[in-house]
Amino acid sequence: MLDDFGTQSATEWAREKLFQILNYRYINRLPTVLTTNLALDELEGRIRSRLSDSDLVRSVRIHSPDYRHAAEDINHHELSSLALHAKQTFGTFSLREDEGLPAEDLRSLKKAFEAARKFAEDPDGWIVLMGGHGTGKTHLAAAIANYRASQGYEVMLVPAPDLLDHLRATFSPNSTSSYDRRFDEMRQARLLVLDDLGTQASTAWAVEKLYQLLNHRYNAALPTVITTNLSLDDLDARLRSRIIDTRLCTVYGITVPSYLAGHRPRKRKK
């Protein structure tokens, strides 16, 4: 029984000794148990090829959080920034009814609020919140995430620029996680909140990665929340075609001005 495989010093000597041990046991078909926190494709090639032999090896993947901190860890994923939005709930959201804003703008805000609250109760399909900066999109998206997290539901809230930074970081020689693992964590998240779509650098690579991520979730019909300050016309055509599919996705446009624009409550007449 070889425990914590992969945490050893990754020197050439260490890799060679481990290979010799496992190769001997593999050739002689000796009963062996390995535990590791690495994905199969993160293991050294010779060892990976032997552990991939389905005639001899059975792999069991455990998805549960650390039992020592299970209640805390389920929504403290390394990629997720949900903890930074802990105060953004439906209870702390302002419908701005005392600011003297146009009735049409207030209706768009209330409609998005009610839709977000309904989605939080039963996440199904996609919900897309569109509007300018500071209009409350992120607050509503975080409120959905916080509500689901309070119900023990696994949630990832990731700003689009951070998502791409995480993926780029996996190409570093010093990275402790593979690109495939990072990308798969986001593709398979039980509920993904992708915040600020459109604020990332619009390189061909970035557009392609976002498309691959969202296309997988679209095909698998996985619950997804997207916020963006772009209009439908400004989105990549492939993403736009999926977002306008009303069988899966509902779009809400928020037309109120920014909360940060200096609007103040209208004084009441005596």
pLDDT along the chain (270 residues), means of 10: 78 86 94 87 84 90 58 56 91 94 96 97 96 94 94 89 77 57 82 87 80 93 95 90 94 92 51
Provide the 8-state DSSP code for 64.
Answer: P
Spans of all domains in the chain = 2-51, 71-261
Task: From 169, 146, 171, select the one nearest 157 (Cα to Cα).
Answer: 146
Q: For the domain 71-261, what is the CATH code?
A: 3.40.50.300
- For the entire predicted model, the pTM comes to 0.70
Q: How high is the pLDDT of residue 161?
A: 85
Q: Please state the three-class secondary structure of 225-239 as a single string.
A: EEEECCCHHHCCHHH
Cα–Cα distance for residue pair 128/97, rounded to 1 Å: 23
Strand order in the sheet with 126-131: 155-159, 191-197, 224-228, 126-131, 249-254
Q: How high is the pLDDT of residue 60?
A: 86
Q: What angle do CA 144, 145, 151 make, to 5 degrees?
A: 95
Cα–Cα distance for residue pair 177/171, rounded to 1 Å: 9
Q: How high is the pLDDT of residue 198?
A: 83
